[in-house]
A and B are shown apart, each in its own frame.
Chain A
Amino acid sequence: MHTRFIMTREKNKNSTNSVGVVETKYYTFAGPDNELKLESGDSLGPITLAYETYGSLNRDRSNAILACHALSGDAHAAGVHEGQDDPGWWDDMIGPGKAFDTDRYFIICSNVIAGCKGSTGPSSINPATGKPYAMDFPFITISDMVNAQRHLIDFLGIERLLCVAGGSMGGMQVLQWVASYPDRVRAAIPIATTKKHSPQQIAFNETARQAIMSDPAWRDGNYYDCGQPEKGLAVARMIGHITFMSDQSMEAKFSRRLKKGRLNFNFDPEFEVEGYLHYRGANFVKRFDANSYLYLTKALDYFDLSGGKAVPLGKKIDTRFMVISFKSDWLYPSSQSQEIVRLLKRRNMDATYCELNSTYGHDAFLVEVEEQTTLIKHFLDKTHNGYMVVEYYGIS
């Protein structure tokens, strides 16, 4: 086991500062008579949340950070699982000495409800029927996801989170945390996100859903006995990947290069960009449930914290914000982050906003590590320790 661990670490590009081998844990709540009330009016229970933690909680429980994942993410944010070499989705940012420094902070990441990576979702068994929920699964909102996370945070004995952070759908959960539980969040880091889904964003999601639902293999969602609608889900994911990249990053990555060096005049993937999208689509269907994709994209589309909902009125809220966007991100453009910033100004909130100069499009929030690390590391430091820690800066 030891040798395997070392080999895994060697494969991991950041092996020197990885959190190492980690394990997914499960927390179940909302049993009979105690089901979770959902925004739609329905209720759901029992609910299991898959989660992982990195680093250790300090004595006064003041160093806990919740990392929220994006649409296709999961609880596995950092390190590697025993016997596998895939690092977690935010491994570049979570670890010893990294932006979310596991030597100093206790980091939690849980799979959202309606997901398919260990938390209760449409592919879970419905206790009432003994079969997967499929389309009997209730509609879920970002607020429901956050409510469920709050139960986990209670269970872990954390009264107030040092920080909630995440990009894209993760960023919406960050905003929702402040909207739902402002007293329990000392700092919020919403990255490449919005406070309400725009018609363009809804349109892309609806196209993805239609790709899944028009695949005959979808069978009105009841496909769990005979395999999922792979073609539809793959197309849905291909649409997604187009929106995650920028014109510039696609030019740099593929240009008009051909897979076989010449035109074949047929409908097989000829251009490298086609090959890439097919590859991404095919990989995705192996690891993601089509019904989860439907429910989660709906949750995104329902998201709307406009009209004073983002920062509850009538009480003093001292949550600090760090809003980050990326210049080439056209899926969640900087203008949407600036809208969040304008709201924070109107409410006189302590906030920092930075638009980073990246060409990677929406993907930037996962790949632009260096600048995000500088920003997040110092922001957390100030939040956790106040000005005492920044005196090292050389002005004494």
Chain B
Amino acid sequence: MASHDIRLDHRIIYSVIDHGSRVLDLGCGEGDLLYLLARDKQVIAQGIEMDDRAIQECVKKGLSVFHDDIESGLREYPEHSFDFVILNQSMEEVKNVDSLIQDALRIGNRVIIGFPNFAYIKSRWMMFFKGRAPITRSLPYSWFDTPNVRFLSVIDFREYCSEKNIRIIEAHYLGGKSTVRFCPNLFALNAVFVLTRGDN
């Protein structure tokens, strides 16, 4: 697969993760990202996923995956079990998100969090001028069928990190096709943060 065929967020996460590291992907779906990492970067890959169809696809790719809820699936892991814990596009569906992030920071030396930016300019436009709940490329659902229970902006997340003493190592802002540098809270569809504990 040529690199432009790979999802932009996957490309960014792929570039962050070191060769041969231990990686846990929470809500790994069909395992596309983990597969690339395992094959090309020889990472030791482990996924956690709720959907049994998706699990079958992961196993077809040779991946190790747990059929589990990501909210309760981390407790047993000892500290520093992984070099990277990925929580990409799944945090917004989680109820106890703070304890999940804390758990991820406990078991992973680095935590990569990707989420859709609710303050994206088109969301604001739909709210402000049309008076409608926003539907965008990164938040494609109607109010009645969305799996999301969390709606946050880039600024919200930065504030959370500073309040919780979480150190931001890298922040990447994603537009439709490429990264965004200027005023990300307004122009980014998605954000990818690389985090570690403040005391690290």
Instruction: Give the B-binding residues of A (Cβ under 8 A).
Output: 320, 322, 338, 341-343, 345-346, 348, 350-357, 371, 374-375, 378-379, 381-382, 386-387, 389-391, 393, 395-396
Nearest-CB residue, chain B, relative to A357: B52
If A348-B81, A393-B61 touch, whether A355 touches B44 (CB-CB below 8 Å) is no
Complex CA gap A257/B45 in Å reads: 51
Q: Are A352 and B39 in contact (CB under 8 A)?
A: no
Q: Say if the beta carbon of B151 comes within 8 Å of chain A.
A: no
Complex CA gap A371/B78 in Å reads: 32
Q: Are A393 and B77 in contact (CB under 8 A)?
A: no
Tally of B interface residues using CB under 8 Å? 26
Q: Say if the beta carbon of B91 comes within 8 Å of chain A.
A: no
Chain-A contact segment, one of B62-70, B125-133, B141-149, B179-187: B62-70
B36, B67, B77, B78 pick with most chain A CB within 10 angstroms: B67
The distance from the CB of B32 to the nearest CB of chain A, in whole angstroms, is 8
Q: Say if the beta carbon of B59 comes within 8 Å of chain A.
A: yes
Inter-chain pairs besides A353-B66, A354-B55, A355-B67, 9 sampled, C-beta below 8 Å: A348-B78, A350-B44, A350-B46, A354-B65, A375-B56, A378-B60, A386-B62, A389-B62, A393-B61
Nearest-CB residue, chain A, relative to B73: A345
If A350-B46, A356-B52, A379-B59 touch, whether A395 touches B35 (CB-CB below 8 Å) is yes
Complex CA gap A322/B64 in Å reads: 8
Which residues from 28 to 56 on chain B have a C-beta closer than 8 Å to any C-beta of chain A? 32, 35-36, 38-39, 44, 46, 52, 55-56
Q: Are B78 and A387 in contact (CB under 8 A)?
A: no
Complex CA gap A31/B44 in Å reads: 46
Complex CA gap A379/B68 in Å reads: 18
The distance from the CB of B143 to the nearest CB of chain A, in whole angstroms, is 29
Find chain B residues with CB under 8 A from A352 CB. Answer: 55, 58-59, 63-66
Q: Are B59 and A346 in contact (CB under 8 A)?
A: no
Complex CA gap A89/B73 in Å reads: 35
Q: Are B66 and A390 in contact (CB under 8 A)?
A: no
- Contact partner of B76 (CB less than 8 A), chosen from A322, A346, A378, is A346
Q: Are A371 and B56 in contact (CB under 8 A)?
A: yes
Q: Are B77 and A354 in contact (CB under 8 A)?
A: no
Q: Are B60 and A351 in contact (CB under 8 A)?
A: no
If A374-B60, A382-B62, A387-B62 touch, whether A354 touches B76 (CB-CB below 8 Å) is no
- Contact partner of B67 (CB less than 8 A), chosen from A348, A354, A374, A390, is A354
- Contact partner of B39 (CB less than 8 A), chosen from A346, A348, A391, is A391
